[in-house]
Structure 1
Amino acid sequence: MKKLLLPVLFASFLANAQTTVFTENFEDITDLQDAGWTLYNDSNIPYDTYATAFPDAWRIIAWTNESGNKVASSPSWFSTITPADRWLITPAITIPANSTVSLEYFARSHDDSPYDDGFKLKISTTIKDKSAFSNIQTVDHAVNSSIVSLEPYTVDLSSYVGKTVYLAWVNDYTNGNLLSIDDIIISATSLGVSDVKKKNLSLYPNPTKDYFQLSNNRGKINVVKIYDISGILVKEMQVQNSGKYNVSDLKTGVYNVSVEDTKSTQNIKLIKK
């Protein structure tokens, strides 16, 4: 199912006016093209069993070394050594005006050097033809490690506010193995938010696997609420004497942590490994 322009404005987040513009974790869709994604394939024949596994440029697969986590994957290992040219393009995404906008996503290779795939992230503000895209990020070699152990790649999209864009992940590696992309999130925050206010709250460690701690200089913390990326409250915690907030029971993913103190409600993003 496509997930475009989700108006996730929680009552507790109104002070920050934060919106999730686009999100995809590849867990709820089975066919990329049916879900509105565009694929451009090269003429290369994937090596051995990859030829059957990848009839298209990219596919959604739950690899054994991803512990059941579904990712979008693309090969660069072909029967004849040649550069890959395999494109994964989002549906149209409208970037809100008067906002700062950030993109986060995870990417990994599935082999070690020199077979650790690299890729390019490109953007178009017009059409989905290859020639319309310009490069905004280059990764020469993605890390060969499970998504849950990685930190996300981040890109500032604030220069595209008010525009409708397409994003393309392009596997252009030569004689690698596999590349996977997962957990794509575009978030927008109103320009009316005070930068000073943002700095009043910090959360660490982040990403985290078991717990996090908070540093807040505005007032005494009353309650901490955690929302998933669809805006559902998944956990509510009172102030902890130990200073540690246990999140070991949460699923891997990205969450919004809402911290209510005596003066205001502040929000900060949490990445759960």
Structure 2
Amino acid sequence: MKTKLLVLLCAAFGALQINAQCARSGNFVQSDPAYSISGTASLTFTTGGNKDVIFDSNFMTVQGLDLRVYLSKLDDILAPGADPIEVTTGPLLGDNGMTSPVLSPITGMKTFSINQTTYPNVDLGTYDYIVIQCIGINERWGYVNLGAVNGPDCALLSVNEKTLSESVTVYPNPANDYFEISNDSQNELAVEIYDILGNKVIASEASRVKKQSFSLANLNSGVYLVQLKSNNQKVVKKLIKR
């Protein structure tokens, strides 16, 4: 059992962290009978990575006067409280590589990354719609009602979240008789410490405190593995006691 645990801890140490992968998706709803639109789209999220709006390969619509893509809290970006976020950096191009003529086809998979510099403090969990808007005539082409989060590790949906490895610090390292863990994000954090043989020597219940101190006075000098768990993320850091 200890051997298995040690292998798992060492593997976790080598990988450093488990990235969360999540998605919310839905089908396009045509808003105006004059402008066809269909297909599926999703909002995808990877902890420590990109946050993207993706149109699937079955996407199809027609060209307009400056089509733009938004994330919105409501299906109408002009409604009070919609708080739209534009995810395009320019007009949608048609299959001909142009923005004209009007009603020429736009088809196929497209990916739009959310600009984390422009929108550094946005909670993606509050945005339930993808909207295509024709800016030239202020007309909504269509929208997607995003469904529930789907993925193995979907604890967070903020644009600016830090990975667990970035937001938690173990110091001093090397340490003498004590060390501290700084939990800058103050997410619920559980701590377990193992010696190199896989024996658990210290454990703490999950806590949101910003700083925790741990005594090493009763432990021998050597290498220890500090396992940190928070919001479906896990990271193992090496700690040396002098």
Query: Shared topology, TM-score over 0.5?
Result: no
TM-score, normalising length: structure 2: 0.33
Q: Which has the larger radius of gyration?
A: 2
TM-score, normalising length: structure 1: 0.30
